[in-house]
Amino acid sequence: MSGKLADLTPEMIAAERERFPRVFSMTMKARATHFVLWVGTPCLVLYCLDRFGFFSEKFWGSFGRLGIMFSQMFPPTGWEYMDEYTYAIGETLSMAFIGSLVGGIIALPFAFMASKNMMPVRPVQFSFRRFADVLRASDYLIWGLIFVRAMGLGPIPGIMAIIVIDTGILITLYSEAIENIDRKPIDGIKASGGGRLEVIRFGVIPQVLPVLLSNALYMFESNTRAATILGIVGAGGIGFLLSDNIRAFEFSNACTIIIMIIIVVYGIDYLSKRLRERFIYGDRVSQGHDRPMERVMAKMKD
């Protein structure tokens, strides 16, 4: 029995195949799953494409109009309305800022109620989690629409919509951060006679604060994106001007606004990245430290 590959005879290979079938080929079940996926998905895609008319003359004929529209977009115009646009951009940023701040603060007490290690009564903890899920299940625009209907047009309903969604998402993210803390500092404070509030202040907050702050900052980025579109339902910000201009076929003005949106979103992303590096993680910025961040990023709506 030497280990050389050349010494293997077909009989030996056959014997091994008999013994370890799964090393040599996929099981029938895996094959069936692959078949269903690789045949079923394209069929479903083709069905959808056909159903929505992607194979029709009308669809392919529309690309001419698309080209005309894009050619009308450039060069961007509307510089004479720049005051109006900057004002609306400022409104967008204000909405995102206030909404993120208030949402980030409101979510904090709820997050403690929604984390397993801080809230021993399981039904209460569970219902707080589900409450957060309900808040974030509808889109920004849906909440914006409801608030606009109830409170009237303007940035305040937009801020309310941002607060609601921000709170919903942050309750979940915060409580996950709280659940992942180290128990030892808490035990230490309890052992030296600390009460419930002292446990939270000195045992929990120092551990979770960097994670909480960076989650809140990520939400600020996400909220800025949302605040640019909330105006479509009348909830303040640049979205109203954008949809108005597009509906009036003023594509070149719309292009200016879109460029402004891109710049603002980039600016906020950059600012939040710098803030995170400088103030939250300080000089502890390292590869390993970004781990909680990746978890957050994966949860974020971009």
Partner 1 sequence: MNSEAATQTQQLDIADHFELARSEYLGRKRLYMVFFWIGFAISLALAVWHSGFSIAAVVDGLPRTSEFIVRMYSALTIENFYADLIDWFWGFEDWLASLFVSLLMAFLATIIGTTFGGILSFYASRNLAKNYAIYFVTRRTLEIARTVPDIVWALIFIYPFGVGPVAGILALTIHTTGAQGKLFAEVNENIDHKPIDGIRSVGGNWFEEIRFAVVPQVMPNFISYTFWRLALNVQAATVMGFVGAGGIGYELINAVKLLYFLDTGAILLMIICTVFAIDMASEKLRHYIIGKETLVG
CB 227 within 8 A of CB 95: yes
Can the peptide bond before residue 75 be classed as cis, meaning omega within 30 degrees of 0? yes
Question: Among 254, 258, 267, which residue's Cα sits nearest to residue 224?
Answer: 267
CB of 195 to partner 1, least distance (A): 29
- Give the nearer residue to partner 1 in terms of CB position, either 155 or 210: 155
Judged by CB, which is closer to partner 1: 157, or 203? 157
Q: Is the dihedral of CA 179, 184, 185, 187 positive or negative?
A: positive
Least separation in angstroms between CB 27 and partner 1: 17
DSSP state of 25: S
User: How many helices and strands in the chain, by DSSP H and E?
Assistant: 14, 0
Around 174, how many Cα atoms within 13 Å sit in the side-chain half-sphere? Answer: 30
User: Least distance (Å) from partner 1 to the CB of residue 77?
Assistant: 16
Shortest distance, CB of residue 59 to partner 1, whole angstroms?
6
Write down the least CB distance from residue 274 to partner 1, Å: 11
Minimum distance of partner 1 from residue 215's CB (angstroms):
13
Choice between 126 and 195, CB closer to partner 1: 126
Identify which of residues 98 and 186 has a Cβ nearer to partner 1 in the complex.
Answer: 98
Closer to partner 1 by CB, 131 or 194: give it.
Answer: 131
Burial class (CB in 10 A: 0-12, 13-18, 19+), 53: exposed
Other beta carbons within 10 Å of 42: 10
Beta strands in the chain (DSSP E): none
b/e 188-197 (16+ beta carbons within 10 angstroms → b): ebeeeebeee
Nearer to partner 1, 18 or 294 (CB): 294
